[in-house]
Structure 1
Amino acid sequence: MVLTGTGTGVGKTVVTAAVAALALDRSRSVAVLKPVQTGVGPDEPGDVAEVRRLAGADVTTWELGRFPDPLAPGTAARRAGLPPVTPSQAAAAAVELSRGHDQVLVEGAGGLLVRFDDNGGTLADVAWSIGAPVLIVAEAGLGTLNATALTAEVLRRRGLECAGVVVGSWPAEPDLAARTNLDDLPVLADAPLVGAMPANAAKLEPKEFLAVARRSLAPSLGGEFDANGFAASHVA
């Protein structure tokens, strides 16, 4: 499965960790691939380290490239004077991991069409190459509908399966836009709402995080989340 966001900072890593934690809890072997990490120094923990911290050390993680500037992968690689990570390299790594793991999660950087390289390669190309469904991680509030609809439209145009939409950071006190978006997101995406991770999830210890992941992700992702019930409990 490939996980993409409607932008940066929407909660992709927390959702990736939650899916991984639930898979591990079902005694499945899990690998998380981060093709490109940007905006992090060589000795700083990146997204895969966060996944291991939240989901557990049994997760296999692999980061293919790291560039210090917090920019699109292709731009960050060019500024660093380093070769970019191409979609074909990312796809090959995902296939290699699939040979030894029950589940492989590929976490993108930024959105679906952010460029990996100067040839225009994107995360969508990675998903197409490996034939993987794509899970959209979206924001909760105002502006998320357009970004989610655009992402879902690209998936349909490229013949890619959308595994659903997860709200990556559900606020403790959701405003009117967030509450109404629970009904509108699956309509705009033409895909089910399959989760809503609470905003404080990244601060939890692994045992608590697993319990929250179970409540916050749908059965299709290994959890118990009921989208209709969740929406009904937040009627505007």
Structure 2
Amino acid sequence: MVTALPLPPVVDAETWRAQLAELRVREKAATHELDAIAAQRRRLPMVKLPDYTLVGADGPVRLADVFGGKHQLITYHHMWHAGAEWQCPGCTGFTAQFTRLEFLNPYDARFVVISPGEIGEALAYRDKVGNRMDWYSTAGSSFGADMDAPIDAGFAVNVFLRDGDDVYRTWHTNGRGTEQLTHTFALVDLLPYGRRESWQDVPDGWPQGDAGSGWSTAQDFAAMYGPGSGHRD
């Protein structure tokens, strides 16, 4: 089969292995830098938080109890527009990838979604798109805004540490900083054509489109994972 797409140059196996080895030096350096960043993250100071109350599927719950008995908590703050039929496709897709979170148990940690939407609306949306994470609402609480994810204004990841009933904020990121938690971009970046987005550095003639042009929509995720999709059991 002949493709109309531009192709990388074809070389012999020895040349390919030599260039792969050259790239591997940079890849290993990046891995070591990520190790150093993680080490610095573990040394960050923390900020004590007030006693926030959120709302879960079973009603109001203190932030300290959202930990579910664990000492560490990761929260993904889902971008939200009240009353919208479909919420942010990026947030919908990001959280859709987390279907098995039990691996965090040996690390004394939990990972949940935080949404500023009213809890009934939030849980209905979660079920519609087939999301499997535990969701909590900040409706009526300043928690989302205080954690740099106000309603209608963005998304974020936050990390917390609990000492008894006292909760401390240890880390935060947003924007492309959240990519380090996803496997989706990591897989796409391995492909010869990458993300096909215009901002990326690619050889001349490589297929490119607008940023986010390859992303699935919230409706796509509902079709793939929601009721009737066959992927909920």
So what's the TM-score if we normalise by structure 1?
0.26
- Higher helix proportion (structure 1 or 2): 1
